[in-house]
Structure 1
Amino acid sequence: MKLVFAGTPAVAVPALEALAARHQIVAVVTRPDAPLGRKRVLTPSPVAEAAERLGLPVIKAARLDAEATEEIAARGAELGVIVAYGGLVREPLLSTPARGWVNLHFSLLPRWRGAAPVQWSIIAGDRETGATVFQLQPGLDDGPIWSMTRTAIAPHETAGTLLGRLALSGAEQLADTVDAIAAGETAPVEQSGEVTLAPKLSIDDARLDFGEPADRVYDRIRGVTPEPGAFTEIDGARLKVHDTAPVRDHPRLEPGVIEARQGEVLVGTATEPLRLISVQPAGKKSMAATDWWRGQNVERMIAR
């Protein structure tokens, strides 16, 4: 089929590559170049760079407005495919391709509808997730489902590593689903089950509460890694927490108390402590927690 593809971040690139190998991509829609780095250099999105490498025409649009709709309509796509574009598809664009739009979403819909499904699934302690290809409708991720795959969430997986894994497996799932739609070999089914929401993460979602049980704190750290990044505060100064591990063989510490025991830096929770592995003090680079602790020259600290 003739496809128009909409996506922006690196997680959408495998899907674009898989579709380009099987179908005709008449346009790639992505968000405009953005300033990156300390020098704020305008940089194309990962999808824009991939499209250029593949020799595909690119439409850069901050919003899918009337102008973008007109330009997309002129390309004559039969089906629109969207993967993490970063904007809403509304009418009349929603009906512009003859077969509408399908969306690759990284959750088991209707669980975790919204912008951050992978992050919230880990924060909530889910042990399973997956990817869903569904027909886009005006509502939030509520369209009928074309295909769904499932995968276990590994105990130490972060949102970043899980999303990277789902991007690769989801790309093949998406390409297979588009093949089946083109051949008329599949039909969508309505969503069923409990609806949960996965809004975009705020910085407050990354603040750690050591008054919670260790497994809840650990899941939150994993869920907000790499972005926005877990943190706590010590004497009013922010300390980012990049990596931790559960421990089962240490005496309990009061919630938020940080101490060094047996060569490990531990922080107390409502249950067993967590071992701090990698941290980043304000204004400094990431470092081993043991190196950070040696520089504090104290017996204990309180994280709040």
Structure 2
Amino acid sequence: MRIIFMGTPDFAVASLEALLDAGEEVVAVVTVADKPAGRGQKLQESAIKKYALSKNIPVLQPVRLKDADFLKELKSFKADLQVVVAFRMLPEVVWNMPPKGTINLHASLLPQYRGAAPINHAVINGEKESGVTTFKLQHAIDTGNILFRERVAIADHDTAGDLHDKLMYTGAKLLVKTVQAIKANMFEEISQEVDAENSVLKEAPKIFKDDCKILWNKSVDDVYNQIRGLSPYPTAFTDFQGKILKIFTCTREKITVDRHPGEFVSDGKQYLKFATKDGYIAVGEIQLEGKKKMKIDEFLRGIRL
């Protein structure tokens, strides 16, 4: 079965690697165009492009997915199936091209957490489990018929980065299972509509800078989950002595507080804690604006509070 793979970040690399290790025939990879990044604004290749080139797989990098030349080239590979992992929304002319259609691997238990940031939002909302879903693409984003799902537990201390890695490897295995099931015609499609009608759906929209600012008047649990859910990227932050302080890790103390939300206490050596509505957040790994990321004891040695 001839497969075209579409993806961009590291999350997608694990899936492509798993397909190749399983002996599947990936005839081409579609990814984003190279983008300037860093101080030198040098063109950076996507993670999936680097990996595909290392395996001598042809790479397509369209700027517009409806471009006639791109569509002609895509069609020339005569793919039976297209696989999408962390890419972008496809027009119907693309997802409807191969005879077996296009499948997507999504980092949530659909229909929950449809959208661009399912991993972050699951942790921010304090979920105890998440998972991965493979489904057939159709017009509305993340709404196609489900093929397979796999659950993954979220530990109380897991960050979005930890959950990302769990889902990345679980998803890669599930994708191989899905492709092999399609090849053998041993699968059934399950509509998302029944679940969607009978439950309150939680969305996973794109995260913006305003979503990352910590509101210390919230509960200690909400702030703790926000910090975990935005770590390591895009990272929760607060204003601290006139600068932006990013917080990557923390612990929580659910106790009666005698300070206003956002006020901090510290021994100047080992701990720095911020008051919330009903407890304290003790920061662990942080980064002050203009400085490198560091542990709290190292940070406190070099700053006057």
* Band of TM-score, shorter chain: over 0.9
TM-score (norm: length of structure 2)? 0.92
Partner of 2:10: 10
Shift of 1:248: 4.9
The reply on whether 1:56 has 2:57 as its aligned counterpart is yes
Partner of 2:253: 247
How far, CA to CA, are the matches of 1:268 and 1:42 in structure 2?
Answer: 43
Q: How does 1:253-264 map to 2 (within 5 A)?
A: 253-261=259-267, 263-264=270-271
Shift of 1:235: 4.4
Partner of 2:80: 78
The reply on whether 1:289 has 2:296 as its aligned counterpart is yes
Deviation string 1:146-166 (CA, Å, 9 cap, x unpaired) is 000001101111111211221
Deviates more, 1:100-109 or 1:56-65: 56-65
How far, CA to CA, are the matches of 2:147 and 2:64 in structure 1?
Answer: 26
Shift of 1:294: 4.5
Partner of 2:141: 140
How far, CA to CA, are the matches of 2:304 and 2:55 in structure 1?
Answer: 55
Shift of 1:272: 1.4
Q: What is the letter of the counterpart of residue 12 of structure 2?
A: A
Shift of 1:249: 7.0
Partner of 1:178: 179
Aligned counterpart in structure 2 of residue 228 of structure 1, from 225, 229, 234 = 234
How far, CA to CA, are the matches of 1:62 and 1:214 in structure 2?
Answer: 44
Structure 2 gaps, min length 5: none
Q: What is the letter of the counterpart of residue 43 of structure 2?
A: L
SS across alignment from 1:92:
helix
Partner of 1:205: 211
How far, CA to CA, are the matches of 1:50 and 1:26 in structure 2?
Answer: 14
Deviation string 1:106-161 (CA, Å, 9 cap, x unpaired) is 00111100110000111111111000000011101000100000011011111112
Partner of 1:302: none
How far, CA to CA, are the matches of 1:155 and 1:69 in structure 2?
Answer: 46
Change (3 A) 1:195 1:69: farther
SS across alignment from 2:12:
helix
* 8 Å contact from structure 2 (residues 66, 93) kept in 1: no
How far, CA to CA, are the matches of 2:179 and 2:304 in structure 1?
Answer: 60
SS across alignment from 2:249:
strand
How far, CA to CA, are the matches of 2:54 and 2:258 in structure 1?
Answer: 55
Q: What is the letter of the counterpart of residue 284 of structure 2?
A: I
How far, CA to CA, are the matches of 2:74 and 2:236 in structure 1?
Answer: 40
How far, CA to CA, are the matches of 1:111 and 1:211 in structure 2?
Answer: 28
How far, CA to CA, are the matches of 2:228 and 2:151 in structure 1?
Answer: 20
Shift of 1:290: 3.2
Shift of 1:251: 5.5
How far, CA to CA, are the matches of 2:256 and 2:292 in structure 1?
Answer: 29
Partner of 1:123: 124
Deviation string 1:261-296 (CA, Å, 9 cap, x unpaired) is 594211111111111112211111112223333444
Structure 1 gaps, min length 5: 299-304
SS across alignment from 2:284:
strand
How far, CA to CA, are the matches of 1:252 and 1:264 in structure 2?
Answer: 17
How far, CA to CA, are the matches of 1:47 and 1:263 in structure 2?
Answer: 41
Shift of 1:252: 5.2
| CA-based RMSD | 1.7
How far, CA to CA, are the matches of 1:197 and 1:228 in structure 2?
Answer: 18
SS across alignment from 1:200:
coil
How far, CA to CA, are the matches of 2:148 and 2:258 in structure 1?
Answer: 46
The reply on whether 1:68 has 2:70 as its aligned counterpart is yes
SS across alignment from 2:207:
coil
Q: What is the letter of the counterpart of residue 34 of structure 2?
A: D
TM-score (norm: length of structure 1)? 0.93
Shift of 1:238: 1.1
